[in-house]
Amino acid sequence: MQFDAALAAQETLQQAQAELGADWDEATELEETFSSNAGVTARYAYEGLLALAARHPEAHRFHAFCIYITWQQVTEETIARHFQTGMTLAESYLASPEGKDPRHLAHVAELLESFRAGLGLDEEDDIVVEFRKDTPKGGD
């Protein structure tokens, strides 16, 4: 990968504060638990973060954060379910790129390829192909 998913997650979580409103404190508590633990405790915090994202469908930065931490979860516990979750989250994120940070879109597209490869699905799907066609090449 061309970026560090853990660093991207930390940066993106801070950017998501306004998106979460009253749920911000819960998000930071869950993230702290996720980041400072392993095993079952981290998994429960991770699942809590995903549930929080489901309550905020328009919180694009927070959704990017959840995709980044899903990669962390994959590296912690390399099981098909985490790859599948990451793939599903990434495909959903890329399906409607309007209003989303181009950097997050590029990172999520890269992670989608990694999630798919982890499941043995090496060919790009239509969402990634369309994203690549629509992404400007070169400088901003």
Q: Which of 13-17, 46-50, 104-108, 124-128 has the lowest mean pLDDT?
A: 124-128
DSSP string, the chain: --S-HHHHHHHHHHHTHHHHGGGHHHHHHHHHHHHH--HHHHHHHHHHHHHHHHH-TT-HHHHHHHHHHHHHHHHHS--HHHHHHHHHHHHHHHH--TTS-HHHHHHHHHHHHHHHHHTT--S--HHHHHHHHHSPPS--
Q: Is 139 part of any domain?
A: no
Residue 62 lies in a domain: yes
Q: Is residue 59 part of a domain?
A: yes
Q: Residue 110's pLDDT is what?
A: 96
Report if residue 61 sits inside a domain: yes
Asked whether the predicted pLDDT for residue 7 surpasses 50, the reply is yes
Query: What band does 66 get if pLDDT is binned at 50, 70 and 90?
Result: very high
- Domain total for the chain? 1
Could you tell me if residue 140 is inside a domain?
A: no
Domain limits for position 11: 5-134
Please compute the mean of the pLDDT values over residues 105-127 and round it to a whole number: 85
Give 23-50 pLDDT, tens digit per residue.
999 999 999 999 999 989 999 999 999 9
